[in-house]
Amino acid sequence: MIRFENIGFRSVEKQDIEIIRKEHNDESVLLMLRDPRIITELQQLQWWESISKSRNNTVFCIFHENPENVIGVWKLQDLDDTNRCTEMGMDIFKNFRGQGFGMKSFRMIFKYIFENLNVHTIYAKVGAYNETSLIAAQKAGYKISGKIPESLFRKGKYWDNVLLSITFDEYRKLPESN
Ligand SMILES: CC(C)(COP(=O)(O)OP(=O)(O)OC[C@H]1O[C@@H](n2cnc3c(N)ncnc32)[C@H](O)[C@@H]1OP(=O)(O)O)[C@@H](O)C(=O)NCCC(=O)NCCS
């Protein structure tokens, strides 16, 4: 378990998977994702088995104060041990949004990945329709570095998938990283 100020993160255990599935299946999250299909209990169990076995594609519960008080999840996706880069994703659960947990979680996760996993570049992909996430990610230090044009179909039309990234040097220059 890793703690950072009054939040922290820990592994996802079996008892967590139903709350994560419910949040995932909530329209406010589901329709932001690349794959907006609803997840069943069985699919969730298979997902948990898969992330539990993997070191480079895995998920963690973010908690507030107490490890049982889960407020969201973050995902380490395609961690590349050779080129020292990784994709990262994060969801703050609906009832906890807009209270600063997203910003604090970004700081916690950047610190962990850059300063402990020795990653050089972190990137994320966000649908152009997901304005809140684009604003929050850039506020946390990500820069828009590209896009995959018209590669996400949502609300009846194609949208760009926006690529955001932050390098270790850029992270070191963030005022809050010192
Ligand atoms: C994006 C997300 C992680 C932000 O987490 P959060 O805890 O709500 O964010 P914070 O409270 O720390 O706010 C951070 C900044 O984001 C922006 N923001 C937050 N909510 C916003 C909203 N509803 N509208 C516009 N901007 C918003 C603001 O700039 C805010 O900073 P400010 O309060 O100083 O103005 C969260 O909304 C979320 O999990 N959304 C659903 C899932 C998702 O889209 N995940 C990303 C997929 S790639």
Whole-number pLDDT of residue 178: 66
pTM for this entry:
0.95
In the numeric block, the tokens 């594609």 are attached to 57
Tokens of 2: 């890793």
pLDDT, one tens digit for every residue, the chain (178 residues): 999 999 999 999 999 999 999 999 999 889 988 999 999 999 999 999 999 999 999 999 999 999 999 999 999 999 999 999 999 999 999 999 999 999 999 999 999 999 999 999 999 999 999 999 999 999 999 999 999 999 999 999 999 999 999 999 999 999 887 6
Under a CB-based contact definition with an 8 Å cutoff, are residues 88 and 77 in contact? yes
Right CATH for 2-177 from 3.30.70.890, 3.30.930.10, 3.40.140.10, 3.40.630.30: 3.40.630.30
Q: Is the CB–ligand 1 distance for residue 103 below 6 Å?
A: yes
Q: Is the CB–ligand 1 distance for residue 102 below 6 Å?
A: yes
Q: How far is the CA of 53 from the centre of ligand 1 (A)?
A: 30
Q: How far is the CA of 129 from the centre of ligand 1 (A)?
A: 14
Round to whole Å and give the CA distance between 106 and 56: 19
